[in-house]
Amino acid sequence: MTRSNAASTLLSVALSLIGVMAPVSLIGQQRSSYPKPTELPNPYRLVDNWPTLPQTMNGGRWGEVIRVHVDEKGDIWVFHRCCSVVPAGSATCVGRGNASPPFLKFSPSGQLLKSFGAGLFAYPHGFTVDREGNLWATDVNDEETILGVSARNSDGVVMGQEVLKLSPEGKVLMVLGKEGVAGTGSDAFDRPTSVAVAPNGNVFVSDGHDPNRFGTGRVVKFSKDGRFIKAWGRKGSAPGDFDEPHDIFVGGSRGWVYVADRKNNRVQVFDQDGGFIAAWTQFGQPSSVFVGRDDTIYVGASFPSASAKKGELRGIVVGNAISGSLSAFIPDPADLDKVIRGTSASGIAADSTGAVFAADVGAHNLRKYIKVK
């Protein structure tokens, strides 16, 4: 290689590195301080008595609700734990029968349109709906028996450790992972927490609900047809590593990957190849993350607070998904003295009108907010 060619190569490498580093320096480090949640406005109003849960379904009472998503038609899909409340914080669908299936579809007005999925999940956790209307959901169960009841399905296989793709009618179309088997390779999971689907159909799975067998903390990427592409991250606190990646979302104008890195108290942002962009701590301890097409980010989070009940302030933080700036805070209306165990806003979504939906594990609720000012 000639000296001029070497110089040209070095210059190209330097420019490419600048290009890679620019998002971190310009996006991840724009500000050294952010307003506290209580200093932010709340331009949202809770919609009372929404939705309508039929009396035939647990007497019209919710159990633990883990995820919510709005489909392309504006209908609201809910992934819940079969109206169960035990074990608290990790309620099971095992033994719940057909009366309270884990998938529910509601109209924007709150009318139940469809329900299915009984017998498919032991411990419902992650959930999304792709642009074709298909459902993707994870099961983090890793126990053969729960509360003394077998977690085996009708085929005799222990449910859990997998991601299921279902049609809008409830037909299983694809399975990622090995049902009932923990692993860290390309074809197995170690308690997969959530799933996101990019516009091109690529699938991203956050893996490593705490506790797990192998100390896992990673994101796994698959093609539309379920072929393993790559994985990144490990359990740790360095940029790009994770400690209980609890939720994942692909969205916004740049198609970035957003991960609620819960036990590291940050939202991490990546490109779709796993390139690190930013780590944001201003969103508190996140349990859920959603990004709208207008680049609004919504994070279900908690913050330490000496003045709040149990020393914890909970709510939904609203901000900008490109810069990480904060714009609003929706405080959790639940009385924490009545919450035994489990987070609030464990799942979060917004529709094209700006309405915000929150799924509550701890408070056994599904909330809808509309913007009022």
Place of tokens 């698959």: 222
Cα-flanking dihedrals φ and ψ of residue 284, to 5°? 75, -155
**pLDDT tens-digit readout, 199-252:** 999 999 999 999 999 999 999 999 999 999 999 999 999 999 999 999 999 999
Q: Look at residue 341 and give its three-state secondary structure.
A: coil
Q: Residue 27 — pLDDT band, cuts 50, 70, 90?
A: low
Q: Residue 35 — pLDDT band, cuts 50, 70, 90?
A: very high
Q: Look at residue 58 and give its three-state secondary structure.
A: helix
Q: Please state the separation of Cα 239 from the chain's center in Å.
A: 19
What count of residues does the chain have?
A: 373
In eight-state DSSP terms, residue 261 is E
**pLDDT tens-digit readout, 6-16:** 444 443 334 33
Cα 175 from Cα 161, distance rounded (Å): 10
Q: Is pLDDT above 80 for 24?
A: no
Distance separating the N- and C-terminal Cα atoms of the chain: 64
Give residue 20's pLDDT.
Answer: 37
Give residue 31's pLDDT.
Answer: 67
Domain made up of 34-371: CATH architecture: 6 Propeller (2.120)
Q: Is pLDDT above 70 for 301?
A: yes
Q: From residue 56, how far is each of 83, 117, 238 by CA, in Å? A: 11, 17, 49
In Å, the largest CA–CA distance within the chain is: 79
Give residue 175's pLDDT.
Answer: 98
Q: Other C-beta atoms within 10 Å of 322: how many?
A: 19
Q: Other C-beta atoms within 10 Å of 373: how many?
A: 7
Q: Is pLDDT above 90 for 28?
A: no
- Ranges 20-29, 63-72, 116-125: which has the least confidence: 20-29
The order of strands in the sheet holding 65-70 is 65-70, 76-80, 103-106, 112-116
Give residue 4's pLDDT.
Answer: 43
Residue range 328-346: mean pLDDT, rounded:
95
Cα 268 from Cα 289, distance rounded (Å): 10
Which string of b and e fits 102-139 if b means at least 16 CB within 10 Å? bbbbbebeeeeeebbbbebbbbbbbbbbbeeebbbbbb
Q: Residue 32 — pLDDT band, cuts 50, 70, 90?
A: low
Closest of 320, 348, 347 to residue 34, by C-alpha: 320
Cα-flanking dihedrals φ and ψ of residue 279, to 5°? -130, 115
Residue range 39-48: mean pLDDT, rounded:
97
Residue type, 39: E
Q: Please state the separation of Cα 269 from the chain's center in Å.
A: 14
The domain locations on the chain are 34-371
Peptide bond before residue 87 is cis, with ω within 30 degrees of 0: yes
Residue range 309-338: mean pLDDT, rounded:
96
Residue range 48-56: mean pLDDT, rounded:
94
